[in-house]
Amino acid sequence: MTVSSEVFKNIYTCNGATTIFPYTFKIFADDDLEVVLHTIADGTEVTLTLTTDYTVSDAGNPAGGNVTTVATYSSDYQLIIRRNLPYTQETDFVENDPFPADSHEDALDKDVMLIQQLKESLDRAILQTSTATTPLTFPLPSANSIIGWDPTGTFLVNDPPYVPVETPDDAVDKDKDDSDKIDLMTVLYAILGVVITIIVLLLVLIFMLLYRVRQMAGKDEDEEVSEEEDAEAEGGPEEEQEEEEAKEPEGAEVPPMEKTKEVPEEEGEKPPEDEEAEEEGDREEVVGEDGEEDEESKETEADSRISEVEEDDEIKIVIEEYK
């Protein structure tokens, strides 16, 4: 056969359900294919393993065959199927032996396929212009560096980190982002101010309520005290005397009347009992002599009785003061 097509690679986007993916070029054996799982988001690639991750059918068919994967892959992945022949020549041409056309043609087809395989790799490489005469070699990777030409323009070297130049559009976007941040902070500060105001008003209201309750309680206490004072005023000295008697400790001895009545006697004064006895004796004498009382004796008797009552009141006052 002839190799009339340059196709040697098929790329499919997975859908989470398909497991059969056709390849549209000729291979000589199942391991002449390389199946790669490509992650679309970050570009990472993983080479799948024959029989473990996939199987191959119709090797040797000029129209190709199918690759059947063991697992299904979501739309986040792509499946790349490409021909990957070994760089060997295994056809042995013996002198004077028959020269079969099929084996000779397969050997020539393989050479073309290897050329196509190399071309696929070169198509993905960075190449110099046709006028370049110096080989191009990349320096070893260096973190946060960029590849650039040396001062002579001959070799590639790692330059210091690249600092992007800010364009007017970038400045506008940055100002817009800053403005959005400022607006958000303004809203947050406004909300915070409202919350603080509400808290202060609630505290003031609670304080006023407590003050009012305390004021009402004090007013009630004042009314009770005034009522007690009015009751005491209406009770008079008798209630005061009862309260004083109640305050006296139990078992207190009341002093005898003789001790409380310590009134100094003036010379010539007689005790009230003696005066009363003398007045009664005088009355008896007057009655015995005259048989009747005149007006003068009645007035004298009345005066003496008034003086006795006054003396008795004074004695009571002294006793109360002593108590």
pLDDT, tens digit (0-9, with 9 covering 90-100), for 264-293: 444 445 555 555 656 666 655 545 555 555
Give the pLDDT mean for 177-184: 73
The backbone torsions φ and ψ at residue 45, rounded to the nearest 5 degrees and listed phi first, read -130, 140
How far apart CA 182 and CA 176 sit, in angstroms, is 10
Q: Taking the model in full, what pTM does it have?
A: 0.43
The answer on pLDDT for 167 being more than 70 is no
Q: Which of 156-160, 171-175, 282-286 has the highest mean pLDDT?
A: 156-160
Asked whether 27 and 83 are in contact (CB, 8 A), the reply is yes
**CA-CA distance, 37 to 218, in Å (whole number)?**
87
Give the torsion through C-alpha atoms of 230, 236, 237, 243, to 10 deg.
Answer: -50
The stretch 175-189 carries a mean pLDDT of: 76
Mark out the alpha helices in the chain (DSSP H runs).
Answer: 101-123, 168-247, 257-260, 272-290, 295-322
24-77 residue pLDDT tens: 998 989 999 999 999 999 999 999 999 999 999 999 898 899 999 999 999 999
Q: Following CA atoms 78, 82, 86, 91 in sequence, which dihedral angle do they give, to the nearest 10 degrees? A: 160
The answer on pLDDT for 239 being more than 90 is no
| Joined tokens for residue 13 | 């986007």
